[in-house]
Every structure is written in C-alpha cells, then in structure tokens.
Amino acid sequence: MQRAAVDEVFSTIRAGAGTAAVSNSSPMVVRLNATATLNQFESLLRIYVLFDTSIISASGTISSAVFSGYGIQKEAGNGSPDLHLASSSPASNTDLVAADYQQVGITSFGSITYANFTGLQYNDITLNAAGVTNISKTGISKFSLQTSWDINNSFTGAWVSLANTDFRIGTAELTGTSEDPKLVVTYTVPANSKQDVIWFD
C-alpha cells in the first residue's frame, strides 16, 4: 500500500489517499522516501499481511502469538525507526486497491527495533494483548507493518534530500516457503485440553 509521486510534509503524506496498491510484490516494503524539498516526502509505503486462522475455531483460547517476517534488506537514509505490527482492514482478503491505504490501525501490536531487524533471517515480533485479540479464531487475521513514525504520526528522523528509509520483507509470492511471512499461534482447545502451536503462512 502506498501514497507516492507526491511532494508533501509527513502529516499530509500519512493522512492522504492511497495512489497505488500491489498485492503480489516481492519483496514487500515499508518505506519513507524524501524529496528534494526540505522536510517533504515522495512516498510512504505500508505492508498488509493476512492469515487464514480459522482452524483455531471459536472454542480455542489463544495464549500467545508471534509474527515473523523474513528480512531481505533495510536502509536508514532518514533515520532508523522501529518496525511495528498493527491491524489492517482491506476491503478484500485476496487483493488490494489504492483506497485500502488508510485501512490501518494505529495501535501497536508489538515491534522490533531497526538495529535488531536483520537480513537473511526471520525477525520476530511477539504480539501483545491487543495483537492477540486481533487474531480471528474463525476467519482471516489482518495485520499491517508500519514504521514507528507512521503509527505514531510523528517523523522523528533526520530528513535528508532524496534519502530512503525502509524495511524489506520476504513474501509468499516467492517460490517455496522459506521466506513466507508467518504467524505462530499457541492456543488451547477445551474439548481435549490440548495445547497446540500452529504455524500460518
């Protein structure tokens, strides 16, 4: 999801309408890119990630969950924000449109620091209570990835002309599953008092 090809201050690019959506990009990218105009930006990108978690069932009780994204690359041209997991609510579960750009939550479900985000391996975000509540036990669980600047509506980096800050994450569109985003959910099923750990990707 993105608002791009603009020249706007941070609050405007964050609150504006989406200009494009790509539902099969590889890798997925969270990005803020500066223009040559002082303190203005050309693009802001967010990642939406959806998982079918209906196997848990309504009777399941979730005790914990961890989101993992396979790091491809990162860049800190405008600073080094944290990467946050939050909610999303795109109109479709199988495609994205530009209008979905604003369909993101502003409550953080957990985060990883820029320094701890590592390429060529999985990077884990443990979900807090709000994040666990966001998991659908009977349908599709919808998440977004945003920088701390985006989720907090405050650019606290150091603006540099034409510089780029981003996180790049592997996607399910790649052949194989070695870089798929995944959600590991631990839950209890009352019927047999068994605790299961399920991996969604």
Positions of E strands within 16-163: 28-34, 41-45, 47-52, 61-76, 83-87, 110-112, 121-126, 140-147
- Model confidence band, residue 23 (pLDDT cutoffs 50, 70, 90): confident
**What's the CA gap between 163 and 150, in Å, rounded?**
17
Amino acid at 50: L
Cβ atoms of 78 and 85 closer than 8 Å: no
DSSP conformational letter for 135 = S
- Model confidence band, residue 198 (pLDDT cutoffs 50, 70, 90): low
Per-residue pLDDT tens digits for 98-112: 999 999 999 999 999
Average pLDDT of span 178-186: 96
pLDDT of 24 above 80:
no
Per-residue pLDDT tens digits for 45-78: 999 999 999 999 999 999 999 999 999 999 999 9
Instruction: Report the percent of the chain where pLDDT is more than 90.
Output: 88
Name which of 12, 3, 69, 73 is nearest 33 in CA terms. 3
Per-residue pLDDT tens digits for 128-172: 999 999 999 999 999 999 999 999 999 999 999 999 999 999 998
Average pLDDT of span 165-193: 88
pTM value is: 0.93
Q: Measuring CA to CA, how many Å separate 5 from each of 52, 88, 122, 170?
A: 33, 23, 31, 24
Q: Measuring CA to CA, how many Å separate 32 from each of 28, 74, 106, 130, 168?
A: 14, 12, 17, 26, 12
Per-residue pLDDT tens digits for 159-170: 999 999 999 999
**End-to-end alpha carbon distance in the chain:** 20
Adjacent-strand bridge partners of 195: 188
Largest CA-CA distance found in the chain, in angstroms, rounded? 62
List Cβ neighbours of 59 (8 Å cut-off, separation of 6 or more): 189, 190, 191
Average pLDDT of span 29-44: 98
**What's the CA gap between 146 and 4, in Å, rounded?**
16
